[in-house]
C-alpha cells in the first residue's frame, strides 16, 4: 500500500516568514494530493490540493508543488500569521483511498 | 450546504461498556469513511464504504468494532466492549465524485 512521510514534525517561524512542509509518497498510482489544516479540537479542513497533471497550484498565501518523478510534494505558506498556527497533514490518494502523513505542528511566533 | 455531521461530539464511558457513533455525510457523497485519530497523529482508516458496501475494512478490529451504512447514507460505528486503548477521536468523512475528502467534527471517546 501507499506510504506517506511528512517532515518536519514541528516547525516554528516568525510572523511574516515563510513555512515549508514536505511530504513523500511511495505509490505512483497516487494522483491526488490534498493538504489539511487542523486546529486544536477541530476537524481537519481542506486548504489546498493538487492533482497529478499539475506541477504547482497557488491560492493567496498558500501554494503546493508536486514532483511526480521524485514522488514528493510540498506546502508553502508565505507571510505567515499567528492564525496559521495549527497541525498540517498531507495526504496521497487514488481510487478514493487516502493515506495521511503524520502531521506538522506549525507555530507562528508574533 | 451542511457538512459532515457526527454525534455525539463527546462520550465518556467505563471500560467494557458499549458505545456507538453516528455520521451523516454530505448529501450526494457516495463514499464514507471512518477514521481513528490519536492525539498528535494523522487519521488512520478504520473502514470505507462505497454506497452501502464496505470496500475496505482491513484495519477495523472486528472482534470489538462493527459498522453499518444502511441505505447508503448514514453510518454507525459501534465498539463493544470498549477498552482503555480505544480512547481517541473517531472522525467520519465523505468524498465527492471529484475525490475531495471532507471531515466531520469528530466524536471524542474517553474510556475510563
Reduced to 3 states (helix: H, G, I; strand: E, B; else coil), residue A2 is: coil
Q: What is the pLDDT of residue B96?
A: 83
Q: What is the mean pLDDT of residues A1-19?
A: 96
* Predicted confidence (pLDDT) per residue in B17-33, tens digit: 999 999 999 999 999 99
pLDDT band at B98 (very low <50, low <70, confident <90, very high): confident
B91 touches chain A (CB under 8 A): yes
For the segment B38-91, what is each residue's pLDDT rounded down to a tens digit? Answer: 988 899 999 999 999 999 998 899 999 999 998 889 999 999 999 999 999 999
Interface test with A, best of B29, B94, B101 (most A CBs within 10 A): B101
Give the residue from A98, A104, A106 with the most B CB atoms within 10 Å of its CB, the best one to mutate: A98
What is the arrangement of strands in the sheet containing A62-67, beginning at the earlier edge strand?
Answer: A4-7, A19-25, A72-77, A62-67, A56-59
Amino acid at each position: 500500500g501507499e506510504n506517506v512521510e511528512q517532515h518536519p514534525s514541528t516547525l516554528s517561524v516568525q510572523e511574516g516568514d515563510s513555512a515549508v512542509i514536505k511530504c513523500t509518497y511511495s505509490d505512483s498510482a497516487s494522483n491526488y494530493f490534498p493538504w489539511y489544516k487542523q486546529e486544536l479540537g477541530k476537524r481537519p479542513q481542506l486548504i489546498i490540493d493538487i492533482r497529478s497533471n499539475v506541477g504547482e497550484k497557488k491560492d493567496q498565501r498558500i501554494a503546493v508543488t508536486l514532483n511526480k518523478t521524485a514522488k514528493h510534494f510540498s506546502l508553502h505558506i508565505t507571510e505567515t500569521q499567528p492564525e496559521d498556527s495549527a497541525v498540517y497533514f498531507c495526504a496521497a490518494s487514488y481510487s478514493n483511498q487516502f493515506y495521511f502523513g503524520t502531521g506538522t505542528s506549525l507555530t507562528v511566533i508574533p | 450546504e451542511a457538512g459532515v455531521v457526527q454525534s455525539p461530539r463527546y462520550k465518556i464511558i467505563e471500560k467494557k461498556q458499549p458505545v456507538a457513533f453516528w455520521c451523516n455525510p454530505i448529501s450526494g457523497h457516495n463514499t464514507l469513511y471512518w477514521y481513528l485519530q490519536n492525539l498528535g497523529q494523522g487519521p488512520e482508516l478504520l473502514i470505507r464504504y462505497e454506497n452501502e458496501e464496505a470496500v475496505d475494512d482491513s484495519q477495523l478490529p472486528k472482534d470489538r468494532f462493527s459498522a453499518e451504512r444502511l441505505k447508503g447514507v448514514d453510518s454507525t460505528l459501534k465498539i463493544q466492549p470498549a477498552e482503555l486503548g480505544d480512547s481517541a477521536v473517531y472522525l467520519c468523512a465523505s468524498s465527492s465524485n471529484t475525490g475531495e475528502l471532507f471531515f466531520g467534527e469528530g466524536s471524542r471517546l474517553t474510556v475510563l
